[in-house]
Structure 1
Amino acid sequence: MFSRPHPLIALALASTSLVGCGGPGPAEEPELSAEALAAVTENPGAPSKALAREVDDLFTQEGLGETRALIVMKDGKIAAERYAEGYDAETRFISWSMAKTVTAIMIGQLVGDGLLRLDQPAPVPRWQRSGDPRADITLRHLLQMRSGLEHTEAGDPPYESSEVRMLFLDGRDDMADYATAQPPEAEPGEKFEYSSNTTVILADIAARTLSDADHAEARRRAVSDYLHARLFEPLGATSMVPEFDRAGTLIGGSLMHANARDWAKLGELLRNKGSYRGEQLVPRSWVAEMVKPSPASPQYGLQTWLNRPTGGTHHPLFPDRAPHSAFSKIGHMGQYVFVSPEQGLTVVRLGHSNRAERIAMLQQLADIVELYPSEGR
């Protein structure tokens, strides 16, 4: 014989039963707008609605800053493309530090031509004086941001930083002269210090390699012609506009302009190990060097950020959410060309986000990347 349950227990059981039968389930996601759906192509390589929603969130969520352009490419084809109001496929976007990776590509082409050597002292005339410790700085040291020079990228106040002084103050007319004049503060190769000045030194080396002339127009033309003939035109990146200072030096660490599709092409070039439509524009071995971790900083290669764990906080990418073989061009205020060869992905995000917004925005970008499984290529 069974005893009757206590009335309070019976009430609790009844309430539980009612909730289970008729209670509200998970909140339904809002309908996607026509704009959100239109951003995704017919066969994007991921669930179309999920991709449309993640892309839409990148443009509409609070706290991520302003996304102005996004392109997702899967296996060489556009999977998603969207622009904010006032921007379109023809808009040229500033690179900021994404230019550094383009400069490294150019240096790699010169190495491939036999005109420069990676592990020999950098050919900077000022450093060749007897007893100058900077004579031991190699091209590799410069490319890996471990020259040992006293280059401070960010200062407090900002006008005290080497970058601001070079770009906008006393170094602006001859940036390479300013950058190469800085004294050493560490042994070459000893420590990592991210520096736009360093990339200007690389751009100056390229100009000296390609032209014997000292006057600005000859230097500018030599580098511009080389970039267009060897990189931009074969790649079909016709919107690319590099900037030069008054001395004719490419501002290779900060100032190039291109539309989002051309930034994607540069990412795809590296995903395909320097090859484009069967033509090897950049030596395959050089691309491998670009994405090899520096001994002084595992998240950095040759002027390229790597998705490798460091054990620290505020990683510039998201190594916990994408393959460690992934890498990226990264520019000030949230410019990214993220490349994941294992996933067949190139993702371009261009816009304006402050530091806190960038941290949140990167996680939203990772939400897009995670829609694509790693294929172990």
Structure 2
Amino acid sequence: MPFPPPHPLPFPVAQPAALGFDAGRLQGAVAHAVAHETPFPRDLLSHLENGQFEQPPDNEVLGPTAPRGDPNGLITRDGAVIARWGDTRRVDMTFSVAKSCLSLLAGIAMGDGLIRDLDEPVAATVRDPAFSGERNGAVTWRMLLTQTSEWEGTLFGKADRIDRGRDLQREGKAPKGWERPLEAPGTHWEYNDVRVNALSLALLHRFGRALPEVWRERVMDPIGASPDWRWEGYRTAEVEIGGRKVASVPGGGHWGGGIFTHAEDQARLGLLVLHDGVWDGRRLIPEGWIAASGVPTPLNPDYGLLWWLNRSGRFPEADRASLLAVGAGGNTIWVEPATRIVAVFRWLDPAALPGMIARVKGALA
């Protein structure tokens, strides 16, 4: 059975051996996840305020947060759960997993004709000061989706400068926020949360209504997700759309807000991606969008359309065509089409992720 029934019914469960896994080795993978808890403390608000990403005043938290729970997750193959640990229905922050959700919304916008061409400047259809001027007026949808826009400015109280020079390999340790000279739009890759928030704002303008409403209607309800998730914005992020105030939601929890959800709903998203945007015979994401999301930008072989990739083999045991939605603190959705594996790891030490993937693949008979 490739698709689980709607929440609150449980996911189908299968014995590991029935789906080609060695049960003992699979339990070793679970033990690895439990033994390698994220270094993020339980009090995420204090963690953000104490300088996880940057020092004052750039670290001001603008959106809701919540204390995190214990490590948890599940591993599925062919839509059936073969391993599970912790409370997979505990709702927690997801951080940058939300970026991959924005990618799916962009695909829907493309299918609806709200985005005519990924290489068209956003300013051609979005009337907002964020996309005015010589630099920002040249920024295209593709540049925002691949983190190559070099967009410049301050959005909802956060300047793009805050994330300039960001080194994901040394998150929370390396200096960033320096006035790096900007390159031409489309010529430099940089993981920058303010620019992702600019994409979210642009999508809000094109849909003409709050993105969480679109997300619920077009994705979460059709895949049978729980009603427990929420997508929170900043207190500074209200914009006028159609004569009413609407919150523009961020693509992560860097300054609070973002998507709060649980592992089972994330596994549903992974299954949607595994099946090329089709859920139980109904196409939700336009044909070709998932494939396009897995095409690396020339400026970073391991990054597609707001999805992390494995084209360079940084996870040696994972298939090179894997897609990963990754959030700070050890939150990952791993989709491997070649083996039909979808796995969700919550609050796993990021340093232990390669070993986790290796153990799951090593359990395949």
Q: 1:245 aligned to 228, 234, 242, which one?
A: 234
> Does 1:335 find its partner at 2:331?
yes
Determine what percentage of the aligned residue pairs are the same residue.
26
Measure how far apart 1:40 and its partner are.
6.4
Write out per-residue CA displacement over residues 199-245 of structure 1, whole angstroms, 9 at most, x where no aligned residue.
1111111111122xxxxxxx5xx322211110110011223211122
How many residues align? The count is 293
Output aligned runs, 1:1-377, within 5 Å.
Answer: 43-60=18-35, 68-83=71-86, 88-117=87-116, 118-123=118-123, 124=126, 125-126=128-129, 129=132, 132-150=134-152, 151=160, 152-153=162-163, 154=166, 185-211=182-208, 219=209, 222-238=210-226, 239-246=228-235, 247=238, 248-254=247-253, 255-309=258-312, 315=314, 318=315, 320-351=316-347, 353=349, 358-372=350-364
TM-score, normalization: structure 1? 0.70
Q: Is the 8 A contact 1:149 1:184 kept in 2?
A: no
1:274, 1:159 → 2: CA distance?
Answer: 37
Measure how far apart 1:194 and its partner are.
0.8
Give 5+ residue unaligned stretches, structure 2.
Answer: 1-12, 41-68, 153-159, 239-246
TM-score, normalization: structure 2? 0.73
2:145, 2:113 → 1: CA distance?
Answer: 17
Structure with the bigger RCO (C-alpha within 8 Å, sep 6+) is 2
Measure how far apart 1:183 and its partner are.
11
Q: Indicate the larger mover: 358-367 or 56-65.
A: 56-65
Give 5+ residue unaligned stretches, structure 1.
Answer: 1-37, 163-181, 212-218
Measure how far apart 1:107 and its partner are.
1.0
Q: Is the 8 A contact 1:69 1:260 kept in 2?
A: yes
* Between structures 1 and 2, the one with greater helix share: 1
Write out per-residue CA displacement over residues 85-133 of structure 1, whole angstroms, 9 at most, x where no aligned residue.
xxx232112110010000110111011000113111013522565x522
Q: 1:122 corresponds to which letter in structure 2?
A: V
Q: Is the 8 A contact 1:241 1:256 kept in 2?
A: yes
Structure 1 residues 157 and 96: CA distance shift in structure 2, 3 A: closer
Q: Is the 8 A contact 2:212 2:230 kept in 1?
A: no
